[in-house]
Structure 1
């Protein structure tokens, strides 16, 4: 084990070319992100983790079923277009929304380093991403999760620490690494959101 950002694949290292976002590298980075919610230390975030994991599974299942047609996320969606259920297309759509929430929440936290109430950053991130797609009951679940956020100091200490007792990441390096991780994530989220909008791939869900 190592400090969180050193133990998972960074979204900044996911290959993105004119052809699209590398599917396997993206799935690896997204899988790593799931562990971030463990650091928040609240069982209220289990619903978020479960949703992200479920959508990762849907996209991976499609890749495994047709790897030659799924090298990039864009190719995967395009090649599922004519099918009746389009399970992976729907899964990726919701996965990107979940990643957008996480990205915006942490960007808010990075932009306001003196604000100890992490719940404010996550609430704003939720309002700017997932909230518009949720019904009343799901909004209530997320509202509970937001109020369960730890204080900033506690969360960032966990983010910097090595769970096996190794050296912690210095604050300046943690800030730099997290900014880079978030910039890579934001780039992918915006790219896939634009792809879905232009191709109307989210219609019917």
Structure 2
């Protein structure tokens, strides 16, 4: 039996990381897989998150395509872009990792929500995602956006149904999800440290 993680374009555990440098192409492929993961939550309420992530992935990829020799890692891509007085892709990476004014970051939000769910096997997805939202995004959103996310949290499927969508073999799903999350946490940690020192204003 296959699982979501086995069929995804790339898992975060397969993203090349050397020291504090993250391989750009592999990171973008893994991020695209996060977008498809939201499909398994079965709610159109998450469409805004997916659209936001896809747009920011495109900003980074466009820069990589136009400057391939200076974009092997995310850090090199941003450093070289900022040196030119530009910041479109760098801004896209910040928003992909953290938050935007109108919607949300997919990576940090997803990481924290699924980690909470794995660590609390009796907790429903709606609770895990609501708590993760409160920790990562809520303070950045106005009342209207908070309302949208409140609906999205309530629309989360039951835990048992979500995990079945990820694969029939529960043991395999849990193993692969654990590996995926650990790698995503590593990547997010590196990005947090790097982006803390990045400014274009």
Which ranges of 4 or more aligned residues in structure 1 deviate by more than 3 Å?
82-85
Tell me, in whole angstroms, the C-alpha distance in 2 between the residues paired with 1:100 and 1:196: 13
Deviation string 1:125-182 (CA, Å, 9 cap, x unpaired) is: 112222233233222221111111111011011111xxxxxxx3x2222111101000
Counterpart of 2:24 in structure 1 is 23
Look up the SS of the partner of 2:122 in the other structure: coil
Partner residue in 2 for 1:110:
118
In structure 1, the partner of 2:101 is: none
Q: 5 Å matches for 1:44-55?
A: 44-55=45-56
DSSP 3-state at the match of 1:35? helix
**Whole-Å separation in 1 of the counterparts to 2:133 and 2:33:** 20
RMSD value, Cα: 1.6
**Shift, 1:118, TM fit:** 1.0
Name the residue aligned to 1:73: 74
Equivalent residues in 2 for 1:118-133 (5 A)? 118-133=125-140
Matching residue of 1:200: 198
Q: How does 1:8-19 map to 2 (within 5 A)?
A: 8=8, 9-18=10-19
Q: TM-score, normalised by structure 1?
A: 0.89
Instruction: Please give the alpha-carbon distance, in whole angstroms, between the structure 1 residues aligned to 2:193 and 2:139.
Output: 17
- CA apart distance, 1:18: 2.4
Could you tell me which runs of 5 or more consecutive residues in structure 1 were left unpaired when the two chains were aligned. Answer: 161-167
Contact 1:19-1:72 within 8 A present in 2 as well: no
Gaps of 5+ in 2: 99-104
Number of positions where the alignment pairs a residue of Structure 1 with one of Structure 2: 193
